[in-house]
């Protein structure tokens, strides 16, 4: 905040604003700043914010987690459903206001541009995904969307918040009436959508504008954990995490989309469908997405690789999609690997013999059989 000097007053008078008005303005700014500070303090007290990076064992039983790294592609218009049906792997014709689907958007060669959760929000279709994968997918959808009655954009007006735990869930239920579940994965409340994410750890995802989100969640008392812990949960649940460097490199089966019910083999044609069908019915796919875990006493670089021992040598073990390291050293890696990788293979972080890795089971069978 500046200081009102006689020189300031002269300039103010020349442009038609009196010193009294500017002093009042300064007072207003002061009180607004004070109000903002008090509001933020109350929010911090209610949500007990923490920057710690937990492992699965130290994860707090009840928490709230804002997700600034999430975004969505929005399709709105008379032909939104018809258009999207011809672009993605899931059956959009089955989509309704309370449903949630997994899916992928591919290029013409069948390589995945984005992996998403499809939902309906305020009449529009949302492809919820990491913001890092939005750019390529959005451009491709908009390219062909000019021929349909549909508006396609990034839903920058929306915020995403994850809630976990019995106590937090009860507080949320008290506000909205009934929580979404496996039969009704999406419910709405005063403009916000609340999404049920099943898995080893049940999650609720609140999709809303900033104002709607504050109205719904502002008074919920919960520990607020670092947004990066979302990566831990997604890796643990086996949900693919793509970014700018990994888009357009894999067919959906290499990312386990068939195991996540993210591919319909009966819906008919869509972009890249021939490659996806050939992989499924001719047994052409030789890769799968896997979870590797380990422990490191030192903090590792975010861009890490891993290797597989071959006799006396080490060879690249696969491609890392995402990784997460807890403050306690536990390491979780999501990677695309060869189908024949097994828990008997000796693995390590690249060029780091002190950090061994093990193949860890996902919550679903990720085995890719050539004859299925």
Write the pLDDT tens digit of every residue in 173-221: 999 999 999 999 999 999 999 999 999 999 999 999 999 999 999 999 9
Element (H, E) at 278: helix 273-281
**Band of the pLDDT at 20, cuts 50, 70, 90?**
very low
SS3 241: coil
Write the pLDDT tens digit of every residue in 5-17: 344 444 333 334 4
Looking at residue 301, what is its pLDDT?
Answer: 84
**Band of the pLDDT at 49, cuts 50, 70, 90?**
low
SS3 100: coil
**What region, left, alpha or beta, does residue 65 occupy, with left being phi > 0 and alpha being psi -120 to 50 degrees?**
beta
Looking at residue 142, what is its pLDDT?
Answer: 97
Mean per-residue pLDDT, 274-298: 93
> 26 CB contacts (<8 Å, ≥6 apart)?
1, 2, 4
Mean per-residue pLDDT, 31-45: 42
In whole numbers, what is the pLDDT of the chain averaged over residues? Answer: 88
Question: Is 37 a residue whose pLDDT tops 70?
Answer: no
Write the pLDDT tens digit of every residue in 110-158: 999 999 999 999 999 999 999 999 999 999 999 989 999 999 999 999 9
What's 182's DSSP letter? Answer: S
Write the pLDDT tens digit of every residue in 231-252: 999 999 999 999 999 999 999 9
Looking at residue 369, what is its pLDDT?
Answer: 52
Distance in angstroms (rounded) separating the CA atoms of residues 307 and 312: 12
- CA-nearest of 262, 321, 319 to 115 is 262
β-bridge mates for residue 188, sequence order = 193
Looking at residue 21, what is its pLDDT?
Answer: 43
CB 331 within 8 A of CB 295: yes
β-bridge mates for residue 180, sequence order = none
Write the pLDDT tens digit of every residue in 71-110: 999 999 999 999 999 999 999 999 999 999 999 999 999 9
Mean per-residue pLDDT, 24-33: 41
Mean per-residue pLDDT, 359-367: 91
Looking at residue 368, what is its pLDDT?
Answer: 63
Looking at residue 29, what is its pLDDT?
Answer: 37
Question: Is 23 a residue whose pLDDT tops 70?
Answer: no
């Amino acid at each position: 905040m500046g200081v009102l000097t006689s020189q300031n007053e002269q300039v103010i008078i020349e442009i038609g604003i009196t010193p009294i008005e500017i002093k009042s303005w300064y007072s207003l700014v002061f009180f607004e700043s004070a109000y903002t500070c008090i509001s933020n303090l109350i929010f911090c007290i209610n949500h007990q914010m923490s920057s710690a990076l937990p492992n699965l064992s130290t994860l707090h039983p009840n928490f709230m987690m804002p997700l600034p790294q999430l975004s969505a592609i929005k399709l709105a218009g008379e032909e939104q459903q018809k258009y999207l049906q011809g672009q993605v792997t899931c059956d959009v014709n089955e989509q309704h206001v309370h449903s949630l689907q997994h899916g992928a958007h591919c290029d013409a060669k069948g390589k995945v541009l984005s992996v998403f959760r499809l939902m309906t929000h305020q009449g529009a279709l949302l492809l919820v995904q990491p913001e890092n994968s939005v750019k390529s997918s959005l451009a491709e959808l908009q390219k062909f969307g000019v021929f349909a009655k549909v508006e396609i954009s990034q839903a920058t007006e929306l915020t995403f918040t994850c809630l976990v735990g019995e106590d937090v869930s009860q507080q949320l239920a008290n506000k909205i009436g009934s929580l979404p579940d496996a039969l009704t994965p999406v419910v709405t409340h005063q403009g916000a959508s609340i999404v049920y994410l099943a898995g080893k750890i049940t999650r609720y995802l609140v999709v809303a504008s900033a104002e709607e989100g504050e109205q719904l969640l502002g008074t919920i008392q919960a520990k607020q954990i670092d947004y990066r812990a979302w990566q831990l949960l997604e890796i643990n649940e086996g949900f693919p995490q793509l970014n700018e460097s990994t888009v357009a490199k894999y067919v959906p089966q290499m990312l386990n989309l068939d195991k996540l019910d993210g591919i319909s083999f009966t819906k008919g044609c869509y972009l890249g469908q021939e490659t996806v069908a050939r992989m499924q019915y001719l047994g052409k796919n030789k890769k799968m997405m896997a979870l590797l875990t380990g422990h490191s006493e030192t903090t590792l670089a975010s861009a890490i690789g891993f290797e597989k021992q071959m006799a006396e040598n080490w060879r690249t073990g696969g491609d890392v999609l995402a990784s997460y390291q807890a403050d306690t050293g536990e390491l979780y890696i999501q990677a695309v690997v060869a189908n024949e990788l097994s828990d008997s293979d000796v693995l390590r972080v690249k060029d780091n013999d002190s950090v061994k890795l093990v193949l860890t089971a996902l919550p679903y069978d990720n085995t890719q059989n050539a004859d299925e």
